[in-house]
Structure 1
């Protein structure tokens, strides 16, 4: 019989309400058992699909409840490390929204506590749970498009009117790079299997947050151009350009929301192949993979803290170059 793990959420965030809460509720091996919020009214949307959920008045009350097995953290970025450590010290497995930290060095203490306790701790980097990304890496590694020479990616949207959004606040670790740069940088690292050997960043700031970033450089002999902005029209796409063909993902990050996830392969001679993924639910798969990892198969969760630390190290380099 499959073990069911009780999940608790810290805070009634919009993202948790619309995406991760329902995913936990629907995932095999998981049960949405708790929500910590100072406003009981904010729990109403969660109780609508999980009527037996327990509502806690404080984060501490939830993480110290022995009935809770896993703590999911969708708090503002600057609170991630603090509450990840508190939850681990309370004996809970931890799944924390990206970015799990504001600087790569901060992740060391989470790794250390993970290893000390034997608990599962990871970043909720949902895209790598989507089969389109596993397939993309498989195609690149197979050599179908030949030697990979260039990676290009873009992820943009415009939220300038939403002034209260935490992405528009410097004090909460806002900005486009931490919010969506993590996707273009991390996915490029995942597919190439390499870290940037050269990096240059053209970044624009507004009231202490980055609103546009064009990052160029090399993964060894593979060049890259990655663009992110929270002041541009909606756009997302990743392309991997080889000597024999081009692999493109047309809805690489917000699958189903931005559009149907589709992978295309264009080879010399104009031959095009499309692979579609109409049914995959990456948030649900993420929860199920996390539960499998708790159960002993750590390889079931493809995003280790060490991988997340590598992406954060790249983010740190982008900010450092922008300041230089």
Structure 2
């Protein structure tokens, strides 16, 4: 049985990691979070040791290692800006890391982690769950099988409403979350690169704390994208049904349906990691380059390649 630790046990995404560890037959033996609202641990791992101070978490794991009960994996679901430090800790502690997205905030952090992998002999595994979604894999195979060099016209729309709390949390601080494109968009940008190839252009039309939009061009696609935390951006018909989230990807007029199957993708990710087939650091480079550029790019006002949801707000 593989032994796991979890950093960030009180966060939104932590239950998916706990469920995945349980479903692959692992044992979560230690968990850490500065917040103590972690009753979810009782659902799968009531015997896990829990710490609110990192130093005590570190000391416990070191004592266990010296007693021959070391960890195999450290899962990281902490705030985005701490991912780099927590992955470094995991590697130096003699474990593999399993890190939530976004992997890091800046591309040069990937290079530092690659060097540390070489030094320690340990590996960073990352959660890029859309690469394991059947609908996305099928789409990628269709694009790869095409003989024409024609680029697909793609619209990516993701609206996930958040209350006032969001901007008061670390997620609303760009220096900690990376901003909205990083926090809620990075796995979509990775998916676009995975399906459509090399990124060629990156233009930003809007970048605010609650919404962002722009244009990306890949080898095989021209992509207009729109992300929002504002419920008023959800289409009226959807809002009338009480829906607060809207997610859509269309490629050359065809709707790419991938709403189903999300809940099991963390478990699928863990299954691949335990087989030695987890996504590594380099697989993240293009997506991290993309969000870093978006964060720092000037705003352009060209309407020709602007997302329709943004056009209607101007």
Measured against the shorter chain, the TM-score band is 0.7 to 0.9
> 1:144 deviation in Å?
9.4
Aligned pair count?
A: 279
> 1:289 deviation in Å?
0.9
Out of 113, 118, 123, the residue aligned to residue 116 of structure 2 is 113
Alignment correspondent of 1:286: 269
Moved over 6 A (4+): none
> 1:155 deviation in Å?
1.4
Alignment correspondent of 2:20: 23
Change over 3 Å in CA distance of 1:127–1:188 after alignment to 2: same
Out of 33, 40, 44, the residue aligned to residue 45 of structure 1 is 40
Query: After the TM superposition, which residues 226-237 of structure 1 pair with which residues of structure 2 at under 5 Å, given as runs?
Result: 226-231=225-230, 232-233=233-234, 234-237=245-248
Question: 1:35, 1:62 within 8 Å by CA — same for their partners in 2?
Answer: no
Of 107-116 and 221-230, deviating more is 221-230
Alignment correspondent of 1:71: 74
> 1:62 deviation in Å?
5.4
CA distance in 1, matches of 2:219, 2:186: 20
Q: List gaps (5 residues or longer) in structure 1.
A: 262-278, 294-299
Alignment correspondent of 1:32: 28
Question: 1:151, 1:188 within 8 Å by CA — same for their partners in 2?
Answer: no
Of 229-238 and 95-104, deviating more is 229-238
TM normalised by structure 2 equals 0.79
**Offset from partner CA, 1:28-83 (integer Å, 9 cap, x none):** 4x3222212456x5343202322232224533235534222111111111111111
Of 12-21 and 223-232, deviating more is 12-21
Out of 167, 172, 185, the residue aligned to residue 168 of structure 1 is 172
Change over 3 Å in CA distance of 1:38–1:168 after alignment to 2: closer
Alignment correspondent of 2:298: 322
TM normalised by structure 1 equals 0.77
More strand by share: 1
Question: 2:8, 2:14 within 8 Å by CA — same for their partners in 1?
Answer: no
**Offset from partner CA, 1:260-303 (integer Å, 9 cap, x none):** 35xxxxxxxxxxxxxxxxx971011011111111xxxxxx22x3
CA distance in 1, matches of 2:97, 2:40: 23
Indicate the RMSD between aligned Cα atoms, in angstroms: 2.6
Question: 1:62, 1:68 within 8 Å by CA — same for their partners in 2?
Answer: no
CA distance in 2, matches of 1:309, 1:13: 28
